[in-house]
């Protein structure tokens, strides 16, 4: 059903901020992501792919990759949608979403990521409700 | 305040320590922020653990959250220190502020340190019954967390029951989280019926469904999908309450709703009005999914692919939606193309072809190739369009774009296989483009065409000879094809091509390393040298037409994937057991009321491209099925013939049911391949074709009462323990199949049945298979089955291929 961890990466694949929700996927899985996405041929690119038992699901926004990993048969549509919602919420709070926005606001970013997802299950994603 | 100012460097750890212990709240907060900032960029600040923990007792929510964050990160590496935090956690779980209570419970669940976990139980118990729904919902998820750390503890402490009670909670978010937690826990206890879904709980879930957030709706729908309704009325009533979800803006909600409906639809009678209504309701939401973001479109398309295979009627009028847009990412384009082909029919083929022709002129090479292939698949699928497809393909060949030409030729070859003798006029054009073919598949396709239509191509020998020059540099696929094509050519035009065939045979047999190639070469050699009449009948025999629909997912897998719509399984088109580690023992999901539950089934012929053109693929019982012993005997003596695919060669030692009949064909004189072929071929040896099938059922050759000894037709290993050996005999003018059935399994077998597929001689059982007593383990019985020759006839390739299916039911010893 769920995501194991969510990462926000820059265009080179370096982690800007991450949140490990379940602790079952090793955090170095990120390295595979960078290799795959940066070096892969354009035609092989897929938003959902599997490597060594770990599934990587990601979207791109401005100069960021927002990526989730899981090792189970999770709900792919739900995770993708969650990533989009995450972007929406960040945009609402920071006005702009790019690398700098995250670095300048990491405290609130952590808080948001904590509220929006618990143990890999999306919880609340409406900015209005989050602000309360 | 800009947080990036808090990034700190190593030497400042000492300073931070001091700041953390400062009296001033503001200073503490700043210090903790610095610590978190360093942690974020990957610095190791674990040394500050005790100092950070000291900041835990605060009223400031922001500060508390930061400390908790730090704890979650480092607790595992400092378990003894983490104990210091327990008191504060426990206290916070009773804080007047519900946000703090929830925070504490949530964080405690994330800290995977045993000692802390013990202390978690009491606070958790209280929070599960907390007055504030925000706390309750957090506690619900926390039970799942705890179960992940220590499943036994959760069971012992009775949390599962409390969690089940939460399904009746008044707050829908609590219900949703409880459902999610229970579903996850239930995954690791597949048979325990933890969720205990019954009509009352289902009702509660459906009520909560209308009030939850979008995520809660997904949890509930996914849980519903695991329920099997008791009858069609319940099924319909649930469907009615789920259909409103189809108009939700959230694509994941829509997909999960579709999953539930697809599954429950199975139980509705097909003539019910509601069934038709439901089918119609499913189309618009699926179409809307394609307006979502591209990644979601991708997931949606992978799922739609499954739905179209299972219930093509839902989307059959929606072709336009799947036309490719210029700015679609490549992964979306490819999926749309695939679905376009699946939906192609007489009604929309004109539009489709127009689109495909456009796509073939695009920039992206992979996409263009797929588009060209699609044109071919359409031609094969929709007969009335074949003419137009062929002319489109010819136009494309005229563009002289290299990869387009090659792809077109491969596809035209398939068109020839489906519509033999209809489009030979194009062969001339194809031959003009011979030089541009450098890919193996294209070369092999061209060679096949030349060989197959050799009699109509004047210079076929020249063409094939030109390929022969670089024989050893060619890929195996091409070499095999060339060998067969030249043999065909020889059989059609023997006088001019003797040298050519000798050349290719020696190239294949003497100079090649490839055993498949060598074996095939030898077979042809022997065939040609001992019995050219048989050779002609074998090599130039009429072939079955290729089947219409390729790339279909096997039915039981398709069913399982439908049960997993929206998940990764439906994106990968693989069952979860294939990619989730540690899930070997997981039960495979089934659609309710499906046929895949162990009944006697026709032999699943399909699967090979050169396949026999039987009707839709039969349902195959699943592996987990103790009933339904499905045996597929392939009684082919080892010969081979022309049609592609150039799969690996024949099984030389394969079950030779027909009492060594083939040996007589190979005859004397085989040893090392003769240095030179005899100028003319000797007369056929002993009996020719008749000998191949010893008692000539259908061929009409009266023979004596000879019956060859029984040979093992099916070893026990291949058939779950049922070993069959047998032979054919002729007794008083009646052909009999005499078999010995041996039970080498552990359980008793009963209820045997047998069925013959259509074969060249019209053989079929003249009576039912008489196996009256149940067969105990290690027991054998003799069975005789009289045969007649009035069954349905279909020329097999090779001629004496007989496929037999036998089923037996085993008592389920549990």
3-state secondary structure B555-582: HHHHHHHHCCCCEHHHHHCCCHHHHCCC
- Using CB atoms, pick whichever of B142, B252, B583 lies closest to residue A81: B252
Residue B122 lies in a domain: no
Whether the CB-CB separation of B139 and B127 falls below 8 Å is answered with yes
Of B550, B567, B592, the residue that ends a domain is: B550
Name the phi and psi angles at B278, rounded to 5.
-60, -45
Question: Contact at 8 Å (CB) between B391 and B412?
Answer: no
A48/B148 touch (CB, cutoff 8 Å), yes or no: no
- Among B550, B579, B599, which residue terminates a domain? B550
Question: Are residues A72 and B580, on separate chains, in Cβ contact within 8 Å?
Answer: yes
Cβ-nearest to B40 among A17, A45, A78:
A17
> Residue B725's domain is classified under what CATH number?
2.60.40.1150
Q: Is B241 inside a domain boundary?
A: no
Q: Which residue of A has its CA nearest to B7?
A: A103
pLDDT mean for each 10 residues of chain B (814 residues): 56 80 83 87 82 83 86 79 82 90 89 81 90 93 90 88 90 92 85 76 90 92 89 89 92 94 89 89 93 94 94 90 91 93 89 91 88 90 88 88 89 87 83 83 89 85 85 88 90 86 87 87 90 86 74 87 92 89 66 49 34 36 36 39 37 35 36 37 37 36 52 68 74 74 73 70 72 72 76 64 58 37
Mention every residue, 6+ apart, whose C-beta is less than 8 A from residue A111.
B62, B65
Q: Which residue of A has its CA nearest to B112?
A: A23
B443 lies in a domain? yes
DSSP H helical segments within B243-329, as ranges? 251-265, 273-289, 294-310
Q: Is residue B728 situated within a structural domain?
A: yes
Q: B254: closest CA among B279, B226, B283?
A: B283
Q: Kindly state whether A1 is in contact with chain B, defined as any CB-CB distance less than 8 angstroms.
A: yes
Q: Please give the Cα distance from B356 to B373 (Å, whole number).
A: 10
**Do A108 and A117 meet the contact criterion of CB atoms below 8 Å apart?**
no
Indicate yes or no: CB of A47 within 8 angstroms of CB of B3: no
Residues within 8 A of B (CB atoms), A 18-77 only = 21-23, 42-43, 45-48, 50, 53, 55, 57, 59, 70-77
Q: Is residue B400 part of a domain?
A: no
Residues of B whose CB is below 8 A from A48: 295, 298-299, 568, 571
Q: Which of A118, A122, A124 to mutate to test the interface with B (most CBs of B within 10 A)?
A: A118
- Answer whether residue A56 shows pLDDT above 90: yes
* Chain B contact set for A118 (CB, 8 A): 106, 138, 141
Question: Tokens standing for B395?
Answer: 């136009």
> Is B480 part of any domain?
yes
Which chain B residue shows the shortest CA-CA distance from A56?
Answer: B568
Distance CA A5, CA A20 (A): 4
Inter-chain touch A121–B570, beta carbons under 8 Å: no
Query: CA nearest B300 in A: which residue?
Result: A77
pLDDT of residue B533: 87
With residue B726 as reference, give the H or E element that holds it: strand B722-731
Residue A85 has pLDDT above 90, yes or no: yes
Q: What's the burial of B588, exposed, middle or buried (CB within 10 Å: 0-12/13-18/19+)?
A: middle
> What's the pLDDT score for residue B506?
87
Task: State whether residue A105 sits within 8 Å of chain B by CB.
Answer: yes
What's the number of domains chain B is made of?
2
Q: Phi and psi (nearest 5°) for B131? A: -75, -25
Token pair of A116 as six digits: 């929006």
Partners of B569 on chain A (C-beta within 8 Å) are: 73
DSSP string, B508-520: HHTS---HHHHHH
Residue B666: the pLDDT is: 36
Determine whether the interchain pair A121/B219 forms a contact, defined as Cβ–Cβ distance below 8 Å: yes
What pLDDT digit, counting tens, does each position of A95-110 carry? Answer: 888 888 888 888 889 9
Closest-CA residue of chain A to B106: A118
How far apart CA B34 and CA B39 sit, in angstroms, is 9
Q: Do A74 and B148 touch (CB under 8 A)?
A: no
Q: Which residues have CB under 8 Å from B250's CB, separation 6+?
A: A81, B214, B217, B218
Look at A48 and B298 and tell me if their CB atoms are within 8 Å: yes
What pLDDT was estimated at residue B246? 93
The alpha-carbon radius of gyration of chain A (Å, integer) is 14
Closest CB from A53, A114, A124 relative to B581: A53
Of B550, B580, B597, the residue that ends a domain is B550
Residue-number span of the structural domain to which B501 is assigned: 439-550
Within 10 angstroms of residue B54's Cβ, the number of other Cβ atoms is 17
Q: Does domain A5-122 have CATH number 1.20.120.850?
A: no
How much is the pLDDT for B63? 86
* CA distance, residue B144 to nearest chain A CA (Å): 8
What is the complex's ipTM, to 2 decimals? 0.95
Q: Which residues pair with B737 in a beta bridge?
A: B728, B785
Q: Each residue of A3-26: pLDDT tens digit?
A: 999 999 998 888 899 898 888 888
Alpha helices in B311-364 (DSSP H): 330-343, 349-359
Q: Which residue out of B98, B138, B293, B568 would a mutagenesis test of the A interface target, given it has the greatest number of A Cβ atoms within 10 Å?
A: B568
Q: What number of CA atoms fall less than 13 Å from residue B768's CA on the CB side?
A: 6
**Residues found in chain A:** 132
Instruction: Give the global pTM.
Output: 0.72
B749-756 β-sheet, strand order: B631-634, B803-810, B749-756
**String of b and e for A44-75 (b: at least 16 CB within 10 Å)?**
eebbbbbeeebbbbbbbbeebbbbbbbbbbbb
Burial B622-641 (b: 16+ CB within 10 A, else e): beeeebbbbbebebbbbbbb
Which residues, other chains included, contact A57 with Cβ-Cβ below 8 Å and sequence gap of 6+? A3, A47, A48, A67, A68, A69, A70, A76, A79, A80, A83, B295
Q: Strands B764-765, A117-118: parallel, antiparallel or unpaired by DSSP?
A: unpaired
B188-to-A78, B114, B147 alpha-carbon distances in Å: 22, 21, 10
List of chain B residues whose C-beta atoms are within 8 Å of the C-beta of residue A123: 137, 173, 177, 213, 215
Q: Does A130 touch chain B (CB under 8 A)?
A: no
Cross-strand partners of A17? A8
Dihedral (C-alpha) B455, B457, B458, B461: value to the nearest 10 degrees?
-80
DSSP SS3 for B729: strand
CA–CA min distance A68, chain B (Å)? 13
Residues on chain B touching A74 (C-beta within 8 angstroms): 567-568
Number of H helices, E strands in chain A: 5, 7
Q: Please indicate if any CB of chain B lies within 8 Å of the CB of A101.
A: no
Residues facing A5 on adjacent strands: A20, A69
Residue B763 lies in a domain: yes
Instruction: Name which of B183, B213, B331 is nearest A124 (Cβ-Cβ).
Output: B213
């Amino acid at each position: 059903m769920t995501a194991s961890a969510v990462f926000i990466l820059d265009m080179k694949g370096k982690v800007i901020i991450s949140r490990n929700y379940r602790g079952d996927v090793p955090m170095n899985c990120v390295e595979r992501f960078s290799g795959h996405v940066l070096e892969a041929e354009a035609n092989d690119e897929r938003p959902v792919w599997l490597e060594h038992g770990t599934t990587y699901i990601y979207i791109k926004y401005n100069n960021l990759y927002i990526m989730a990993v899981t090792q189970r048969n999770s709900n792919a549509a739900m995770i993708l949608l969650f990533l989009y919602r995450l972007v929406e919420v960040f945009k609402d709070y920071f006005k702009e979403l790019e690398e700098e926005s995250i670095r300048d606001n990491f405290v609130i970013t952590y808080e948001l990521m904590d509220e929006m997802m618990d143990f890999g299950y999306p919880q609340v994603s409406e900015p209005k409700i989050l602000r309360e | 305040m800009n947080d990036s100012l808090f990034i700190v460097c190593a030497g400042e750890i000492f300073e931070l320590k001091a700041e953390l212990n400062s009296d001033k709240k503001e200073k503490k907060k700043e210090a903790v922020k610095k610590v978190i900032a360093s942690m974020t960029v990957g610095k190791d600040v674990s040394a500050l653990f005790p100092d950070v923990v000291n900041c835990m007792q605060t009223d400031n929510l922001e500060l508390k959250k930061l400390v908790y964050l730090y704890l979650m990160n480092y607790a595992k590496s400092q378990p003894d220190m983490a104990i210091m935090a327990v008191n504060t956690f426990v206290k916070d779980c009773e804080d007047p502020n519900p946000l703090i209570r929830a925070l504490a419970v949530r964080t405690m669940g994330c800290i995977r340190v045993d000692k802390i976990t013990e202390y978690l139980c009491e606070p958790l118990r209280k929070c599960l019954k907390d007055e504030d729904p925000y706390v309750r919902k957090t506690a619900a998820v926390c039970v799942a967390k705890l179960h992940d750390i220590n499943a036994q503890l959760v069971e012992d402490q009775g949390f599962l029951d409390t969690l089940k009670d939460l399904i009746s909670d008044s707050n829908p978010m609590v219900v949703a989280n409880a459902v999610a937690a229970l579903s996850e826990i239930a995954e690791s206890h597949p048979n325990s019926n933890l969720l205990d879904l019954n009509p009352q709980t289902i009702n509660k879930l459906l009520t909560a469904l209308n009030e939850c957030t979008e995520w809660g709706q997904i949890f509930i729908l996914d849980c519903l999908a695991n329920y099997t309704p008791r009858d069609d009325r319940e099924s319909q009533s649930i469907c009615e309450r789920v259909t409103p979800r189809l108009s939700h803006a959230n694509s994941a909600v829509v997909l999960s709703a579709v999953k539930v409906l697809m599954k429950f639809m199975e139980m509705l009678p097909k003539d019910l009005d509601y069934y038709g209504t439901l089918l119609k309701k499913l189309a618009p939401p699926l179409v809307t999914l394609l307006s979502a973001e591209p990644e979601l479109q991708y997931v949606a398309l992978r799922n739609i692919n499954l739905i179209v295979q299972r219930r093509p009627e839902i989307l059959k009028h929606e072709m336009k939606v799947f036309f490719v847009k210029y700015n679609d990412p490549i992964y979306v384009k490819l999926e749309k193309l695939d679905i376009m082909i699946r939906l192609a029919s007489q009604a929309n083929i004109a539009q489709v072809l127009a689109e495909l022709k456009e796509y073939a002129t695009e920039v992206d090479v992979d996409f263009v190739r797929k588009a060209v292939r699609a044109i071919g698949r359409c031609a094969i699928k929709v007969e009335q369009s074949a003419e137009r497809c062929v002319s489109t393909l010819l136009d494309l060949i005229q563009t002289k774009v290299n990869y387009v030409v090659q792809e077109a030729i491969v596809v035209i070859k398939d068109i020839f296989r489906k519509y033999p003798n209809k489009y030979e006029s194009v062969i001339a054009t194809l031959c003009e483009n011979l030089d541009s073919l450098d890919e193996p598949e294209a070369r092999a396709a061209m060679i096949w065409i030349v060989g197959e239509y050799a009699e109509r191509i004047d210079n076929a020998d020249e063409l094939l000879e030109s390929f022969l020059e670089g024989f050893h540099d060619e890929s195996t696929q091409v070499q095999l094809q060339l060998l067969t094509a030249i043999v065909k050519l020889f059989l059609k035009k023997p006088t001019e091509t003797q040298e050519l065939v000798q050349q290719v045979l020696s190239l294949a047999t003497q100079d090649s390393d490839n055993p498949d190639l060598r074996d095939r070469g030898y077979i042809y050699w022997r065939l040609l040298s001992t019995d050219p009449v048989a050779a002609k009948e074998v090599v130039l025999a009429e072939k079955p037409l290729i089947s219409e629909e390729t790339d279909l997912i096997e039915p039981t897998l398709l069913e399982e994937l439908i049960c997993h719509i929206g998940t990764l399984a439906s994106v990968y088109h693989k069952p979860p057991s294939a990619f989730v580690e540690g899930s070997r023992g997981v039960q495979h999901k089934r659609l309710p009321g499906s046929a895949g539950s162990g009944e006697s089934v026709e032999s699943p012929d399909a699967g090979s491209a050169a396949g026999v053109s039987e009707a839709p693929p039969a349902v195959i019982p699943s592996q987990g099925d103790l009933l339904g012993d499905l045996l597929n005997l392939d009684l082919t003596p080892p010969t081979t013939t022309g049609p592609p695919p150039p799969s690996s060669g024949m099984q030389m030692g394969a079950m030779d049911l027909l009492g060594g009949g083939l040996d007589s064909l190979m005859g004397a004189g085989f040893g090392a391949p003769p240095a030179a072929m005899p100028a003319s071929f000797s007369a056929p040896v002993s009996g020719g074709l008749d000998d191949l099938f010893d008692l000539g059922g259908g061929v009409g050759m009266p023979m004596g009462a000879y019956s060859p000894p029984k040979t093992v037709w099916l070893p026990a290993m291949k058939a779950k323990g049922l070993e069959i050996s047998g032979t054919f005999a002729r007794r008083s003018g009646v052909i009999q199949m005499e078999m010995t059935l041996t039970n080498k399994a552990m359980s008793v077998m009963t209820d045997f049945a047998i069925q013959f597929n259509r074969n060249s001689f019209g053989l079929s059982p003249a009576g039912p298979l008489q196996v009256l007593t149940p067969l105990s383990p290690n027991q054998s019985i003799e069975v005789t089955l009289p045969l007649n020759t009035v069954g349905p006839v279909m020329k097999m390739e090779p001629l004496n291929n007989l496929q037999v299916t036998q089923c037996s039911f085993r008592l389920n010893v549990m």
